[in-house]
Structure 1
Amino acid sequence: MTFSLTILGATGSIGRSTADVVIAQRDAFRVEAVVGGRDALALAQVARRLGARFAALADESGGEALKEALSGTGIGSGAGQSAVLEAVEREADTVVAAISGTAGLAPTHAALKPGRRIALANKESLVCAGAAFMADVRRLCIDLLPVDSEHNALDHALAAGMNRDVEKAVITASGGPFRTWTRERIAGASAKEASAHPIWSMGSKINIDSATLMNKGLELIEAHHLFDLEADRLDVLVHPEAIVHGLVQWSDGAVTAGLALPDMKVPIANALRNERRLRMDLPRLDLAAIGRLSFDRPDEERFPCLSLAKAALKAGGAMPTILNAANEIAVAAYVADRIGFYDISEMVEAVCSTFSGRQLAAPETVAEALNIDEEARRAARQAVSAHDRTARL
């Protein structure tokens, strides 16, 4: 049987890995639509490679370039938000939601259709609007499968028992490029150094979130919504080898773990499985060859963003939405060399403190989440402007 597939974020790292999985399983999938951000030529290349029926570019100004690049292929195309929504609305059994950042929230939510499977790689859908998003997942009986390697591993591990018997669900972190650096050295790190992830090849923003460990904090919030686990039953371990991606400690003392080589095609293939697992021609895990696996507790003094994310999860309400918005603005400012590395955590903490007294409830709709997100972004932009080092030159 052939299953139809739509890929949101087809030109990003997850989208490209998804394309590799689909190419390796030509008889299993038919690609209905692919969606990209601004790179018309890259999107056209993906659409051609996969034989997609429709390609949509979020950036309206690239519409003509996309149409020209697809000329003669028979692949339909469009640009702008209406085209993205057209791609989402097209009939597909599975939608891979891999648009990075809050920009992916609305399209991912629009993809929730009865009977569909969502392979979720957009963590912001749950960080920004977790309660509202998951309520719609349950209402529409959506089969939601996590693509992040950590959550995919937990999904496997949690199948070994009942939720009530989980003492602790743990996700792992490689530690990022600054795992062994002193705080003083980290303070002077450039965005280029922060983007040099030792294990994974991801986009710049996610790489920097990995360097600050904010990515792990966001993943804890995501895990809370995915698996209905309270903050005190979630934790992080630093694991430089990136072989154990997630593990569950049970009430009887047993531990179930999800292991795999660090290749995103493994969790993607798992999320795209149907009646049976896909057969992938990938290197197999050889623990004897690896020889040693090591684990440490994260240093939240050197990486305060993790503490901020944990605090936002415990605070609940709209605080995770605010945290994420402030972080996106602060990271963009860091990439532009407007602020330093530790200014990211200081900006995020300042914005969260600004909103803490208001005790905003968790957004009940995606639209409400996006309104709170925008308000927090305005506060974050003001905080960045007040500390902009380029303005002082």
Structure 2
Amino acid sequence: MKNISILGVTGSVGTQTLDVVRKSGEEIKIIGVTANSSIEKMKEIIDEFKPKYVGMMDIESAKNIKNYCISNNLDIVVLEGMDGLKTIASLDEIEMVVTSIVGMIGLVPTLCAIEAGKDIALANKETLVVAGELVMNKARDMGAKILPVDSEHSAIFQALSGYTEKDIKKIILTASGGPFRGKDTKYLKKVTVAEALKHPKWKMGKKISIDSATLMNKGLEVIEAHFLFNCDYDNIEVVVHPQSIIHSMVEYKDASIIAQLGSADMRLPIQYAINYPERKAEVANSINFYEVGSLTFERPDFETFKCLKLAFKAGRKGGLTPTVLNGANEEAVALLLEEKIQFLQVAEIIEECMEYFKEDATKELNLNNILELDEKVRKYIRSIYN
């Protein structure tokens, strides 16, 4: 049996992780779970999975859950805030942490888990985007495995099986193109938040859905791939593949290309990461190639979808520039969801911040500077647009 904690258990990836656990029988045991403020969902998870530890970022939500456990005579430790996340990420009883929190908030507990020697099933893009060098170095020092949960990085990880960095010519990340594939800036000036949230293939949370619509999601994945697979940015290529059957590919130095294919179901990479190196019985439908018919590929439009271009730029600059990129994107997406800005302003805000904070981004890459600069970027944006 493998004991795990799930950070962000009520979100899209966390919910699908629960489904994988259900189908695993008694092979996986959930010891700790965390959420922000989803009280009712957490109560359902407590009733079904009976974890020993529960963490809620929101203090009032933690009090509510604590009262629920007391009134139902449940022997569960309820924790609150960032300290709760850090504790649940580094419990002695667990071997792995599934980090499915969305946003920068996942960085500190992920580092705590690594420092405690836990393997990481990583679904939190921002952790590697802003602190990839720190995280990967710490994982090597502690002997902790970083197992990607994103379908694209899981695909690359699987395609690299049996090979090393010296064999790679390039990594090819596939992108669905999102809901606005093929559209121009004239069209995008008028799109609504509701339209941006309608992803054609994947069912995801609001923030990730917007990132997919702007192609920032793919930009963040480019930076992730750089750190996960020690691959130069010049050797990372993005290809739009609207069918979302090929999840990514690796081209080797002999020009051979190995691709990983599967249905558009996040439970596949989640299951693979949790059980690595074993493969378990299928949790998703098999592909019927007769029904698929054909697979197509397109070049991404870097000028219309500037977020992808900005992510490559930030990754190449390195240092704290990805921190600026990520913090600006998170705040801009939040403003868009609040309908305080328009869709195309997301990229404009990110580009403005990368220029405004370019000197700050040259400071030493360490955790304190990452957290301080992230906060500065967010305050700057809110001072203008709130």
- Give the TM-score normalised by the residue count of structure 1: 0.94
3-state DSSP class of the match of 1:279?
Answer: coil
Choose the corresponding residue for 1:229, options 217, 228, 231: 231
Moved more, 19-28 or 266-275: 266-275
Residue 294 of structure 2 is matched in structure 1 by: 292
Post-superposition shift, 1:162? Answer: 2.2
Residue 379 of structure 2 is matched in structure 1 by: 378
How far apart, CA to CA, are the structure 2 residues paired with 1:128 and 1:372? 11
Contact 1:41 1:69 survives alignment (8 Å): no
3-state DSSP class of the match of 1:111?
Answer: helix
Correspondence list, 1:66-81, <5 A: 66-70=65-69, 71-81=72-82
Contact 1:172 1:246 survives alignment (8 Å): yes
Post-superposition shift, 1:281? Answer: 4.0
Contact 1:38 1:57 survives alignment (8 Å): yes
3-state DSSP class of the match of 1:346?
Answer: helix
Correspondence list, 1:1-393, <5 A: 2-70=1-69, 71-90=72-91, 91-274=93-276, 276-357=278-359, 360-361=362-363, 363-364=365-366, 366-385=367-386
Is the alpha carbon distance of 1:383 and 1:223 closer, same or farther for their aligned partners in structure 2, counting shifts above 3 Å? farther
Post-superposition shift, 1:375? Answer: 1.7
Moved more, 307-316 or 350-359: 350-359
Contact 2:245 2:261 survives alignment (8 Å): yes
* Letter of the 1:65 counterpart: N
Contact 1:41 1:66 survives alignment (8 Å): no
3-state DSSP class of the match of 1:30?
Answer: strand
3-state DSSP class of the match of 2:73?
Answer: coil
How far apart, CA to CA, are the structure 1 residues paired with 2:132 and 2:380? 22
After TM superposition, where is structure 1 displaced by more than 4 Å over at least 4 residues in a row?
A: none
How far apart, CA to CA, are the structure 2 residues paired with 1:204 and 1:114? 32
3-state DSSP class of the match of 2:74?
Answer: coil
Unaligned runs of at least 5 residues, structure 2:
none
Is the alpha carbon distance of 1:81 and 1:315 closer, same or farther for their aligned partners in structure 2, counting shifts above 3 Å? closer
Is the alpha carbon distance of 1:278 and 1:149 closer, same or farther for their aligned partners in structure 2, counting shifts above 3 Å? same
* Letter of the 2:249 counterpart: L
Contact 1:6 1:32 survives alignment (8 Å): yes
3-state DSSP class of the match of 2:219?
Answer: helix
Unaligned runs of at least 5 residues, structure 1:
386-393
Contact 1:67 1:77 survives alignment (8 Å): yes
Per-residue Cα deviation, 1:213-261 (whole angstroms, up to 9, x for no partner)? 0110010001111111111011111111101111011110100111110
How far apart, CA to CA, are the structure 2 residues paired with 1:24 and 1:136? 32
Contact 1:112 1:137 survives alignment (8 Å): yes
Is the alpha carbon distance of 1:346 and 1:158 closer, same or farther for their aligned partners in structure 2, counting shifts above 3 Å? same
How far apart, CA to CA, are the structure 1 residues paired with 2:7 and 2:260? 26
Is the alpha carbon distance of 1:173 and 1:30 closer, same or farther for their aligned partners in structure 2, counting shifts above 3 Å? same
Post-superposition shift, 1:76? Answer: 2.8
3-state DSSP class of the match of 1:150?
Answer: helix
- Give the TM-score normalised by the residue count of structure 2: 0.95
3-state DSSP class of the match of 2:357?
Answer: helix
